[in-house]
C-alpha cells in the first residue's frame, strides 16, 4: 500500500484567515515533503522533513509554516496568504531521504485564497 492522505481536499480562505493542511502516511516512510503546484507547471518543492526534522526549506515565505508532529503526520499552517498562493498543495513521502528513493504523492489540497 502506497497511500498518502491529505485533508481537506478543497479549502477557500480569506487573506486574514489561519488554516492548516494535514497529511498522513502509514507506510513507515521517514521523509515527508510539501510541494506547491500551479496549473500546467511541475510541482515546486517547499519543505522536506527527514526523520521528523526539517532538512530543506526552499526559501518559502513565513506565512507558510510546516510542522511534523510525528513520523506519520505532516502539517502546513497557513496565515495571511495572498491570492497568488492559490494552488494545489501536495504532500509526498518516501522510504528515506537519500540518493535513491521513490516518492509518493497524496491527492492534494486545492487552495483558493480570496
Partner 1 sequence: QKEVEQNSGPLSVPEGAIASLNCTYSDRGSQSFFWYRQYSGKSPELIMFIYSNGDKEDGRFTAQLNKASQYVSLLIRDSQPSDSATYLCAVKPNQAGTALIFGKGTTLSVSS
- 107 binding partner 1? (CB under 8 A): yes
* 105 is a contact residue toward partner 1 (CB under 8 A): yes
CB of 76 to partner 1, least distance (A): 15
Binding mask 72-91 for partner 1 (x = CB under 8 A): ----------------x-x-
Residues 19-58 interacting with partner 1 (rule: CB under 8 A): 33, 41-43, 45, 48, 55-56
For the beta carbon of residue 6, count every other beta carbon within 10 angstroms: 20
> Beta strand 87-94 with 104-105: parallel, antiparallel or unpaired?
antiparallel
Which residues here bind partner 1, judged by CB under 8 A?
A: 2, 33, 41-43, 45, 48, 55-56, 88, 90, 99-108
Amino acid at each position: 500500500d502506497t497511500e498518502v492522505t491529505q485533508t481537506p481536499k478543497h479549502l477557500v480562505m480569506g487573506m486574514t484567515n489561519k488554516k492548516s493542511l494535514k497529511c498522513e502516511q502509514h507506510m513507515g516512510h521517514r521523509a515527508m515533503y510539501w510541494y506547491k503546484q500551479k496549473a500546467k507547471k511541475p510541482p515546486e518543492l517547499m519543505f522536506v522533513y527527514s526523520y521528523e526534522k526539517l532538512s530543506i526549506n526552499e526559501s518559502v515565505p513565513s506565512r507558510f509554516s510546516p510542522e511534523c508532529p510525528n513520523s506519520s503526520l505532516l502539517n502546513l499552517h497557513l496565515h495571511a496568504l495572498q491570492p497568488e498562493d492559490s494552488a494545489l498543495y501536495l504532500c509526498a513521502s518516501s522510504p528515506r531521504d537519500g540518493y535513491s528513493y521513490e516518492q509518493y504523492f497524496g491527492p492534494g489540497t486545492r487552495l483558493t485564497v480570496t
